[in-house]
Amino acid sequence: MSKNPEFVKFDKVDKSYDGKVLVVKDLQLDIAEGEFITMLGPSGSGKTTCLMMLAGFETPTHGEILLDGNIISNIPPHKRGIGMVFQNYALFPHMTVYENLAFPLRVRKVEKDEIDKKVDKALSMVSLNGFETRMPAQLSGGQQQRVAVARALVFDPAVVLMDEPLGALDKNLRESMQYEIKHIHESIGVTVVYVTHDQSEALTMSNRIAVFNDGKVQQLSDPAELYEKPVNSFVAEFIGENNTFNGEVTDIDKDKCKVKLANSEILANPISVKSKGEKTTVSLRPERALINPKDKMDNMFTGKIEEVIYHGDHTRVRLNLLGSSEFILKVPNSTSNLELKVSQDIKIGWNSLDARALDPK
């Protein structure tokens, strides 16, 4: 079966609640069949609104949403056949786990034997066999979450929407649930649209990530590219950690540009700057800057250590470098770098390819 690359399609979708402010602006987004796509963004960026429009609880102010080639804007939620996992699970508190899972099947008038079979299968998928007669209140947060996932999948929907489903769980449980959801997705191949504001969650789970800000998709790409090659300073800032330098382009080449800072000059990779005199923000990942690099690097500076924070697997070093005391270094822990001391001067180097000159902040 060939996968439809435009299984879900947002076609020029606008959404406004009050007629004054657009929460979603001219959204153009294609989601392939079987894909795990994450909508990532700060709160108020429009990502949940997009999900609600897809689920049918909100209608687009302009534009169309297509599911498998059919316009669904006028189809009510219960006829869309889209599974949904809610932020607070939304399990029916007066029904047992079995009844919760049977609900979507019963409203579809599935036979009793078939319901039993499907509920059993869905429960074993989230390893909750034997919990059929429990009430939701008798389950832990993680178990409730699994039931919610199983319930959204039990009627074999074409698309499953997840609205920050792991937000209420503690850190360890959240991480194990991330893998579990990812494995479920891989094993049954359902299309998943996942909404979160947690970037590490997005990076771990998704095939592709759409970063939302201000009602617009800022960047749509796979996790590695998103992290390594952010296209603007919002994405660079939002995903992972980031050292920034604000300056002005003084010289520009095909893959190199000179950026003049307050009292020095660095070499950077021109991404969104085109010509001399443009203002820019240069973004550099903390792990791309090395202490006393053995190879020749085209940016070499000396900084003074302001703070050393031990993190177990790595050490964070805050430096005063090029007039800013907010420069962060991530140093993997090995015996060689244990002698880092506050107010010590060290040599730092990075390649201009990793320093991305983006739009000014």
Partner 1 sequence: MSSETKQILTTDGIPLEVSLKKAEKKNKIKAFLLVAPLLLFLIITYIFPIGDMFMRSVDDKMVTNMLPKTFKAMEKWENLDELPPEEVYRGFYEDYKLLAENQQHGKLGQRLNKEKNGFNTITKKLFRQIKRNKIDESASIKEQINKIHKRWRNVEYWQAIKRTAPPYTMAKYLKGMDMYFAADGSIAQVDEDRRIHRILWLRTLEIAFFVTLFCFFMGYPIAHLLATLPMKYSNLLMICVLLPFWTSLLVRTASWMILLQQQGLVNDFFVMIGLVGDDNRPEMMYNKVGTYVAMTQILLPFMVLPLYSVMKTISPSLMRAGKSLGGTPFVAFWKVYFPLTIPGIGAGCLLVFILAIGYYITPALVGGASGTLISNQIAFHMKTTLDWSFASAMGLMLLSGVLVIYWIYNKLVGVDNIKLG
Q: Applying CB under 8 A, which of residues 118, 151, 208, 216 lies at the interface with partner 1?
A: 151
Q: Are 184 and 30 in contact (CB under 8 A)?
A: no
| CB of 305 vs partner 1, minimal distance in Å | 49
Q: Total residues contacting partner 1 (rule CB under 8 A)?
A: 27
Applying CB under 8 A, does 112 fall inside the site for partner 1?
no
Given the DSSP bridges, would you call strands 257-260 and 243-252 parallel, antiparallel or unpaired? antiparallel
The least distance separating partner 1 from the CB of residue 220, rounded to whole angstroms, comes to: 25
Judged by CB under 8 A, the residue of 30, 61, 75, 103 near partner 1 is 103
Among 17, 57, 179, 310, binds partner 1 (CB under 8 A): 57
Near partner 1 in 117-136, by CB under 8 A: none
- Using the minimum distance from each CB to partner 1, give the nearer residue, 155 or 227: 155
Name residues contacting partner 1, limited to 7-46 (CB under 8 A). Answer: none
**E strands, the chain, in order:** 8-16, 22-31, 36-40, 62-67, 70-71, 82-85, 159-163, 191-196, 208-213, 216-221, 243-252, 257-260, 265-270, 279-284, 290-291, 299-310, 314-321, 324-332, 345-350, 356-358
**Minimal distance in Å, beta carbon 58 to partner 1?**
11
Angle subtended at Cα 179 by Cα 176 and Cα 180, rounded to the nearest 5 degrees: 85
For residues 115 and 102, what is the distance between their CA atoms, to the nearest angstrom?
Answer: 6
When asked if residue 63 is in the footprint of partner 1 (CB under 8 A), the reply is no
- φ/ψ of residue 308, rounded to 5: -125, 120
Specify the amino acid at residue 96. Answer: T
Other CB atoms within 10 A of residue 315 CB: 18
Question: In the set 55, 249, 328, 357, which binds partner 1 (CB under 8 A)?
Answer: 55
CA gap 304, 200 in Å, rounded: 30
CB 244 within 8 A of CB 259: no
Is position 108 an interface residue for partner 1 (rule: CB under 8 A)? yes
Applying CB under 8 A, which part among 28-36, 50-58, 123-131, 339-347 lies near partner 1?
50-58
* Interface with partner 1 in residues 75-94 (CB under 8 A): 76-78, 80-84, 86-88, 90-94
Both structure tokens of 27: 């959204």
153 in contact with partner 1 (CB under 8 A): no
- Shortest reach from residue 173's CB to partner 1, in Å: 21
Measured between alpha carbons, how far is 194 from 66 in angstroms, rounded to an integer? 18
Q: Which is nearer to partner 1, 95 or 173 (CB)?
A: 95
Closer residue to partner 1 in complex, CB, 108/112: 108
Among 56, 60, 247, 270, binds partner 1 (CB under 8 A): 56
Q: For binding to partner 1 (CB under 8 A), which residues are involved?
A: 55-57, 76-78, 80-84, 86-88, 90-94, 103-104, 107-108, 151-152, 155, 161
